[in-house]
Structure 1
Amino acid sequence: MNKKKEALLLLEDGTAYRGIALGIDGTTGGEICFNTGMTGYQEIYTDPSYYGQIIVNTTSHIGNYGVQLEDEEESASVKIKGMVCNTFSTIYSRTTADFSLQQYFERAKIVGISDVDTRHIVRHVRQKGVMNAIISSQILDEKELMAELHKIPSMDGLELSSEVTTNEAYYVGNEGSSSWRVAVMDYGIKKSILNNLTSRGCYCKVFPAKTPFEEVMKWQPDGFFISNGPGDPAAMTYAVDNVTQMVNTGKPLFGICLGHQLLALSSGINTYKMHHGHRGLNHPVKNMLTGLCEITSQNHGFAVNPDEIESHPDVEITHVNLNDKTIEGIRRKDYPAFSVQYHPEASPGPHDSRYLFDDFTKLLSAI
């Protein structure tokens, strides 16, 4: 592809940005959102929670350290729909890199745009709210491209976990040397989460998203893990039913991100779509149980209703976002079940919250 070919980014409200095409020549659309992390772009692109979304990287230079396949993939493929950045580097300095980010996007058939004012885009999304967008290096007429944009479904009410989940159940860890059997519901699981579980003595069986509760229980797990993932949690009634039954077993349950929202829904607490969501590596969260602050990695566009939690007799708030007071963690008072909205595995960082995996294994030890 001609690296200097023009590309057009068009937002749902008609705002347009013209820049330079990256990745492959094509057209792609999805919900536009921004990530403020200054490193870890490869982990972002392979995170299944970003499925269906166009990512705006706010860091000025993207691609400068290339791509390293062995250590930095969170799933088996790139999950984003498109990428937007200011300066895109087709060369890289890291000697251990396998190839450039441009080559990586070409292999994954990703369409993107660079040389646009990402600060302006972020300010616009923060003010107007999250919306759908489309990128094209094929259609440069705004009216024609808007017609294509209108075909993209809204994330609100969209079920996407079944698009990214495993097709068959599989095992992770060493059965012979592990202390506990943990059933992992894959709604878009990240490899780093599984690594954190297995490194603490968990032998995991990872189940497809729509596996019936009865089939999960045939494996006789000691506890349950409810994963992160994309889409609207309120559209996942099959998952809410499963989580409800898992909680009622009295066995330990831990949920992250989408798993947090599903635990809330299973407890009768509603979720809502946020104005522009939280995505980045520097979100401050207060642990209400210890009084300590954690700097956290986040990626979510939905949240749980705080008023419904505060009035719930069996659920308490454990973590709160210090920027906007949204709920970042809950736990059940009547069952050994808890969850957090952010990502304690924090790949690529920071690692302030990895103690939550230890909290889960302590619950497993108590059974």
Structure 2
Amino acid sequence: MNFPATLQLENGIKLNGIGHGAKKVGVGEVVFNTAITGYQEILTDPSYDGQIITFTYPHIGNTGINAEDNESATISARGLIVKNFCEQPSNWRADRTLNDFLLQQNVICISDIDTRYLTKLLRDEGCKIGAIYPSKEINDEEASFEIKKFGKIEDHNLIENVAVKKSYTYAKASNSPKVIALDFGVKENILRILKNKGAEIIVVPSTTSAKDIQKLSPDGIFLSNGPGDPNVLPDVVSQIKEMMDLNLPIFGICLGHQLMSLAYGLSITKMPFGHHGANHPVHDLKNNVVYITSQNHNFAVANIANKSDLNVTHISLFDNSIQGIEHLEQPFYSIQCHPEASPGPREFENMFDRFFEEMNAKKK
């Protein structure tokens, strides 16, 4: 059953709409995503933990939910904001509605919101902490208290909510590169691509030490995507520094890219409203090629000034922010955007090939 709902932002703005899914309070950092398709993959991307997603595309839920497209077992987003919420999907792959999925996952949604107004506000003023709540059960003062209690996204170690607590083998293979994947909130399609390219994959917790990784005799180390601010993870950064002494290829995506950058001694800063979408152009500076990429981050590497052993390989054509870094003397490289897509274009998937080339070269 639908219900009256309200979106309240930390600046006091309130927008009334129609609630769907769980009748509860959802609190988080409100961001906007410009992707036209792929809402299921977006909602289940662990990188969205701690955030409420505003979809700029006006119709959400049209294709329902299916059993194959989740990027993790749960919805990581704290809530979603849409213009038009479809309750009767039409798609041959769908096995349930978006509303059913939200109820199962205990997540709230608000629809009939002017998402163009909200997106412009977030673009002009930056991301806001907000709350979605059933307006007949929760009053505005109670919601305001929840917003203040949440604080800022920078106050939270969000990978504790999404990363595995115990190691597991994702894929077995013989005579193939063995990849140790540090899980900060890894997406399913990343592991799937590594598997399809022939890797043996062991997924380990984010707290795994370099010494324990070395005991597994890997051919390469992968640092996954994940939610939140990398600056709140100094212990992880210290371990990555030690991993860099193992003389193994290291490849990082998204949060993994930022953590590698901190290990290099670089600075990570908060972006005004981040990059969230599936049509972000990225310039490959080495090959002078432009890729259209999927992106999801609110933090970025500031610069690589005074680092003669590092090279910027990719930049965003939206704002010139750093999108890729390589080490000139070691087999380390990382990328800010999502070459695995899900959702989005797959043309940047060749970024995984270099990782395998580096590992195979080390094995010889």
**TM-score using structure 2 length:** 0.97
Q: Is the 8 A contact 1:310 1:317 kept in 2?
A: no
Q: SS of the counterpart of 2:131?
A: strand
Does the 8 Å CA contact 2:173/2:198 hold for their aligned counterparts?
Answer: no
Given the alignment, which residue of 91, 103, 106 partners 2:88? 91
1:150 aligned to which of 132, 148, 151 = 148
1:80 Cα offset (Å): 0.7
2:358 maps to 1:332: no
Output one character per residue of 1:166-213: Cα deviation in whole Å (capped at 9) or x when no partner: 12101122323x510011000000110001111111101100111122
Aligned pairs, number: 361
Q: Tell me how far apart the structure 1 counterparts of residues 293 and 211 of structure 2 sit (CA, whole Å).
A: 35
RMSD, matched Cα: 1.1
Q: Do the aligned partners of residues 140 and 119 (structure 1) sit closer, same or farther apart at CA in structure 2, a change above 3 Å counting?
A: farther
Secondary structure in 1 aligned to 2:237?
Answer: helix
Q: Is the 8 A contact 1:277 1:299 kept in 2?
A: yes
- 1:197 match: 194
- Alignment partner for residue 270 of structure 1, among 267, 270, 288? 267
1:78 Cα shift? 1.0
Spell out structure 1 runs of 4+ moving beyond 6 A: none
- The residue aligned with 1:49 is 47
TM-superposed CA distance for 1:144, in Å, is: 3.8
Residues in 2 aligned to 1:209 and 1:251: alpha-carbon distance in whole angstroms: 18
Inter-partner Cα distance in structure 2 for 1:143 and 1:127? 26
Unaligned 5+ residue runs, structure 2? none
Residue 107 of structure 1 is matched in structure 2 by 104
Q: Give the 5 Å matches for 1:1-367.
A: 2-3=1-2, 5-69=3-67, 71-138=68-135, 139=137, 141-176=139-174, 178-306=175-303, 309-367=304-362
Secondary structure of 1:272's aligned partner? strand
Structure-2 separation of matches of 1:95 and 1:202: 33
Counterpart residue identity of residue 299, structure 2 = F
SS of residue matched to 2:149: coil
Distance in 2, Cα, partners of 1:225 & 1:345: 14
SS in structure 2 opposite 1:217?
A: helix
Following superposition, the deviation at residue 360 of structure 1 comes to 0.8
Return the offset for 1:27. 1.1
**Code of the aligned partner of 1:310:** A
Structure 1 Cα separation of the partners of residues 321 and 245 of structure 2: 27
Per-residue CA distance 1:314-363 (angstroms, 9 max, x = gap): 11100000010100000111210000000000112201210100111011
Tell me how far 1:158 sits from its aligned partner. Answer: 2.4
For residue 109 of structure 2, what is the amino acid of its counterpart?
A: G
Which letter does structure 2 place at the counterpart of 1:239?
Answer: V
Structure 1 segments unaligned to the other structure (5+ residues): none
Letter paired with 1:129: G
Please say if residues 278 and 298 of structure 1, whose CA atoms lie closer than 8 Å, have aligned partners that are also in contact.
yes
Distance in 2 (CA, whole Å) between partners of 1:336 and 1:97 is 43
- Paired residue secondary structure (1:259): helix
Instruction: Tell me the CA shift for residue 140 of structure 1.
Output: 5.6
- 1:310 deviates by 3.3
- Indicate if the aligned counterparts of 2:4 and 2:16 stay in contact, CA closer than 8 A: yes
